[in-house]
Amino acid sequence: MRRVVRQSKFRHVFGQAVKNDQCYDDIRVSRVTWDSSFCAVNPRFVAIIVDASGGGAFLVLFFFFFFGRIDKSYPTVCGHTGPVLDIDWCPHNDQVIASGSEDCTVMVWQIPENGLTLSLTEPVVVLEGHSKRVGIVAWHPTARNVLLSAGCDNAIIIWNVGTGEALINLDDMHVDMIYNVSWNRNGSLICTSSKDKKVRVIDPRKQEIVAVSLCDN
């Protein structure tokens, strides 16, 4: 009989759920139809996109501060006028998070040092440029204040968050919905997957597609 060896590099790692007294409970995670993880984590906070009537909201919970039931009245980040679809913590500042929404905008938020005690309605900056909902936000991994967003208008915009201006607008590279976007390690390239069944590697500075998968079916 062959011995079954798990090939994964995580084969010696076994996860175990923590006890109930170290869990968050009763969180109304967003039920909007969108392929997103609906959460984002950094060394200080966990953020979770939640259901909100008449707008969009996400929770920001300070780790180790408390666990247990999250009351319905718990403060949220709630400045969008439509559901929030994606969130991403800034890699250079643990107090800063970006959100993309069905309201076609991207917002960047400054979370107070010790987390939210009141709901936050005023973003640091609103980034307007997409003509349809914004489903993906992803910070540049190395350059400060550079954020990418992808919308259902099939466009990718790279923003200077400091000035609120679009640095690069890649609106002619995709013919169909963008499913996901990923930066390479130093942020010189981005990779996208799209509903047209193609994977593209794009050099955003040169604004050109440097590679595209050759799958026709």
Ligand X SMILES: *[C@@H]1O[C@H](CO)[C@@H](O)[C@H](O)[C@H]1NC(C)=O
Residues in contact with ligand X by CB under 6 A are 35-37, 180, 182, 184, 186, 188
What is the number of alpha carbons within 13 Å of residue 68 lying toward its C-beta? 4
Rg (CA), the chain: 19
Count of other CB atoms within 10 angstroms of residue 74: 15
Of all residues in the shown chain, the one whose CB is closest to ligand X is: 182
As measured in angstroms, the least distance from the Cβ of 179 to ligand X is 7
Query: In angstroms, what is the minimal distance from the CB of 193 to ligand X?
Result: 8
Q: Considering only CA atoms, which of 71, 56, 54, 68 is closest in space to residue 25?
A: 68
Residue nearer to ligand X on the CB measure, 121 or 188: 188
Query: What amino acid is encoded at 91 in this protein?
Result: P
How distant, in Å, are the alpha carbons of 13, 23, 49, 78 from that of 18?
15, 7, 22, 30
Closest to ligand X by CB, 86 vs 103, is: 86
Comparison of 159 and 183: residue with beta carbon closer to ligand X: 183
User: Minimum distance from CB of 67 to ligand X (Å)?
Assistant: 25
Select 79 or 135, whichever has its Cβ closest to ligand X: 135
* Closest distance to ligand X from the beta carbon of 52 (Å): 21
